[in-house]
Amino acid sequence: MQPTEEFFDALNRDVKATECVENPFFAAFRNGEITVEDVKVFADQYYLYIRTFPQILAGLSHRVEDEKIRKELAKTIVSELGGSEGEIHFRLFEKSCAPLGVKIADIGEADYLPETVALVDGIKKMFLEGSIESALGGHYTIELSGLPMIASFYEGFRLFPESTVESLEYFYLHLLIEREHVEWIHDAVEQVTGADEAHAEIRKGALEMAALLGNFWRALYAKTVKQPVTA
């Protein structure tokens, strides 16, 4: 049986080696290659992901039997919904797009990429139907990739002249709290470690989620920065 610390070290290496942590789309944001038109495309797709995630995570919280795990999941759910007095996070993202003239479509009203639908459906299937261990592994990947994602988006958004300190609150907030989110899911995953079978399921979910996210970011890059040349 692999010791818990060694398991997490290996899991972190495996996830960080995938395109959910570093990819051309994130690099394009950091390098100032994203235009307002690109944001218009990106925002609708990303919004579906972040708007539905707390609801799906609440479903996973309902499924778990261990109260310690449920507590850690609940921390992230409450955080995403603004805590006791803060703004719901997807509303903050709306505010970050507004100065650019980008109005995000209501859920179900946008033309979603197949990879966007696959990501949201994949999270639903994993969290609501899969094993608890694999679902926790998938959630671990989402949180582990959150900080490099937010850091990249912040670098791009802050370059737009229309952005203000107030409109960038979504990014400031997540630059601070993403580490806490990782700590919470780490503690949740730790509750189900200890057996080789559990480790295999956690890793399976983590890498499946990494693939879904990698496909999502790759599709957005192709749709925005690297648009196909037409004859």
Q: Is residue 231 part of a domain?
A: no
188-193's contacts with Cβ under 8 Å and 24+ in sequence apart are 188/68, 188/69, 188/72, 188/73, 188/136, 188/139, 189/8, 189/136, 189/137, 189/140, 190/4, 191/66, 191/68, 191/69, 192/66, 192/69, 192/132, 192/133, 192/136, 193/4, 193/7
How many domains are contained in the chain?
1
Residue 122 and residue 114 in contact, taking contact as beta carbons nearer than 8 Å: no
Q: What is the pLDDT along the chain (231 residues), one digit of tens a residue?
A: 677 889 999 999 999 999 999 999 999 999 999 999 999 999 999 999 999 999 999 999 999 999 999 999 999 999 999 987 789 999 999 999 999 999 999 999 999 999 999 999 999 999 999 999 999 999 999 999 999 999 999 999 999 999 999 999 999 999 999 999 999 999 999 999 988 899 999 999 999 999 999 999 999 999 998 765 554
Q: Is residue 230 part of a domain?
A: no
Q: Is residue 213 part of a domain?
A: yes
Q: Is residue 186 part of a domain?
A: yes
Q: Is residue 229 part of a domain?
A: no
Gap between the Cα atoms of 132 and 75, Å rounded: 17
pLDDT value at residue 228: 58
Q: Is residue 59 part of a domain?
A: yes
DSSP string, 173-194: HHHHHHHHHHHHHHHHHHTT-S
| Contact residues for 142 (Cβ-Cβ < 8 A; gap 6+) | 53, 123, 209, 213
Q: Is residue 14 part of a domain?
A: yes
pLDDT value at residue 3: 79
pLDDT value at residue 53: 96
Domain that holds residue 135: 4-223
Q: Which two tokens stand for residue 52?
A: 């539905």
CATH number for position 197: 1.20.910.10
- Residue 160 is classified by DSSP as S
pLDDT value at residue 195: 84
Q: Is residue 32 part of a domain?
A: yes
pLDDT value at residue 67: 94
